[in-house]
């Protein structure tokens, strides 16, 4: 029944006013809810720019960057506290190829509930330790088996430490551990070495600055 119809029944004017106010309040609340939902949706799809050591720019979803890097999360919180709309962050300790791998891994995992493998490592097959994340293990194997792959893995480890990406750092360490688990000493030395020649008793796991 319309408001005018209600008036025709000689209902008290105060009741009519209360109904009108309630209708107006409901409309305004709906508008506020729609604006809030739109704001949340905008945040969900907001991107930021990460700049590598050589100045190359990479785009990544803001929520994923915060999820997989405490360093970036802290920097973003600082920007918000200072009412700063900064959406570009310089990562001077991360090379372009390694930053690209970090973003690929973050996008691969997305918003899934990712947890690092249990310690100590239960199997030399990391897929058995991460049954729901075979795609991540495949990605790490792809990096490991590429040109200068071991060097890239070590530099990625260093970058994840710098980015304060605890879950991914522990997972990458587990990946390396899975490669040497149950292997004899001479094979472990060869696996960990980034050099073609392996010198016994020397630290041969040093990382290179080039990919």
How distant, in Å, are the alpha carbons of 25, 82, 86 from that of 38? 20, 24, 21
Q: Which of 104, 61, 55, 97 is nearest to 72 (CA)?
A: 61
63 three-class SS? helix
pLDDT, one tens digit for every residue, the chain (211 residues): 444 454 444 556 666 666 666 667 676 666 665 655 544 444 567 999 999 999 999 999 999 999 999 999 999 888 765 556 568 899 999 999 999 999 999 999 999 999 899 989 999 999 999 999 999 999 999 999 999 999 999 999 999 999 999 999 999 999 999 999 999 998 998 888 875 433 333 333 333 344 4
Sheet containing 88-90, strands listed edge to edge, beginning at the edge strand earlier in sequence: 57-61, 47-51, 88-90
96 near 56, Cβ under 8 Å?
Answer: yes
CA distance 58 to 100: 7
* Model pTM above 0.85: no
The end-to-end CA distance of the chain, in Å, is 75
Q: Identify the pLDDT of residue 191.
A: 86
């Amino acid at each position: 029944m319309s408001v005018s119809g209600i008036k025709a029944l000689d209902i008290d004017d105060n009741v009519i006013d209360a109904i009108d106010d309630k209708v107006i309040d409901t409309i305004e609340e709906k508008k506020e809810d729609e604006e809030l939902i739109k704001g949340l949706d905008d945040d969900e799809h907001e991107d930021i720019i990460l700049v590598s050591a050589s100045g190359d720019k990479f785009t990544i979803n803001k929520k994923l960057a915060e999820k997989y890097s405490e360093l970036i999360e802290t920097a973003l919180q600082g920007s918000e506290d200072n009412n700063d709309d900064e959406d570009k962050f310089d990562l001077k300790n991360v090379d372009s190829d390694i930053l690209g791998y970090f973003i690929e891994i973050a996008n691969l995992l997305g918003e899934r509930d990712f947890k690092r493998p249990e310690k100590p490592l239960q199997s030399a097959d990391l897929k058995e330790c991460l049954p729901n994340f075979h795609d991540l293990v495949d990605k790490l194997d792809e990096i490991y088996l590429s040109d200068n792959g071991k060097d890239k893995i070590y530099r990625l480890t260093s970058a994840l430490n710098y980015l304060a990406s605890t879950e991914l750092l522990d997972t990458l360490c587990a990946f390396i551990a899975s490669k040497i688990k149950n292997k004899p000493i001479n094979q472990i030395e060869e696996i960990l070495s980034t050099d073609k020649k392996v010198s016994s008793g020397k630290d041969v796991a040093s990382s290179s600055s080039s990919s």
